[in-house]
A and B are shown apart, each in its own frame.
Chain A
Amino acid sequence: MIEVCRVGDLPPGEAVRVDTVDPPIAVFRTEDGDFYAVDDTCTHQDASLADGWLEGCTVECPLHASCFDLRTGQPSGPPATKPIRTYPVVVEDGVIRVAYSEVAC
Chain B
Amino acid sequence: MRTAAVIGASLAGLSTARALRQQGFDGRLVIVGDEPHRPYDRPPLSKEFLAGKSSDIGLRTPDDEALDFDWRLGARALSLNPHDRSIELSNGQTLRCDGVVIATGARARWLPGTEGVNGVHVLRTLDDAIRLRAELVPGVKLVVVGAGFIGAEVASTARYLGADVTVIEAEPLPLLRQLGPELGAVCAGLHGDHGVRLITNAQVKRILGANRVRSVELADGRQIPAEVVVVGIGAAPNFEWLAGSGLQLDNGVVTDAACATGLPEVVAVGDVAASYSVHLHDRHRAEHWTNALEQPVTAAATLLGDPRPHLSAPYFWSDQYGVRIQFTGHRREGDTVRVIEGDTDRRSFLAVYERGDVLVGVLGMNQPKLFSRWRRQLARPVLAP
A51-B350 Cα distance, complex, nearest whole Å? 14
A78 near B368 with CB under 8 A, answer no
Stretch from A29-37, A61-69, A89-97 contacting the other chain: A61-69
- Which bucket holds chain B's interface residue count? 10 to 19
**What residues on A are CB-neighbors of B48 within 8 Å?**
46
Q: Is A39 among interface residues, defined by CB-CB distance under 8 A?
A: no
B368 near A63 with CB under 8 A, answer yes
A26-51 interface bits toward B, Cβ cutoff 8 Å, 1 = contact, 0 = none: 00000000000000000001111011
A60 near B15 with CB under 8 A, answer no
Interface of A is mostly: loop
Known: A53-B376, A81-B61, A81-B63. A62 touches B371 (CB 8 A): yes
A53-B245 Cα distance, complex, nearest whole Å? 44
B372 near A78 with CB under 8 A, answer no
A83-B21 Cα distance, complex, nearest whole Å? 22
**What residues on B are CB-neighbors of A56 within 8 Å?**
none
A81: nearest residue on chain B (CB-CB)?
B61
**What residues on A are CB-neighbors of B376 within 8 Å?**
53
A52 near B290 with CB under 8 A, answer no
B356-385 interface bits toward A, Cβ cutoff 8 Å, 1 = contact, 0 = none: 000000000000110111001000000000
**What residues on A are CB-neighbors of B326 within 8 Å?**
62-63
User: In whole Å, how far is B348's beta carbon from the nearest beta carbon of chain A?
Assistant: 13
Known: A63-B317, A65-B290, A78-B293. A47 touches B368 (CB 8 A): yes
Residues of A that sit less than 8 Å from B by CB: 45-48, 50-53, 60, 62-65, 78-79, 81
26 interchain pairs, CB-CB under 8 A:
A46-B48, A47-B368, A48-B368, A50-B369, A51-B368, A51-B372, A52-B368, A52-B369, A52-B372, A53-B372, A53-B373, A53-B376, A60-B372, A62-B368, A62-B369, A62-B371, A63-B317, A63-B326, A63-B368, A64-B290, A65-B290, A78-B15, A78-B18, A78-B293, A79-B293, A81-B63
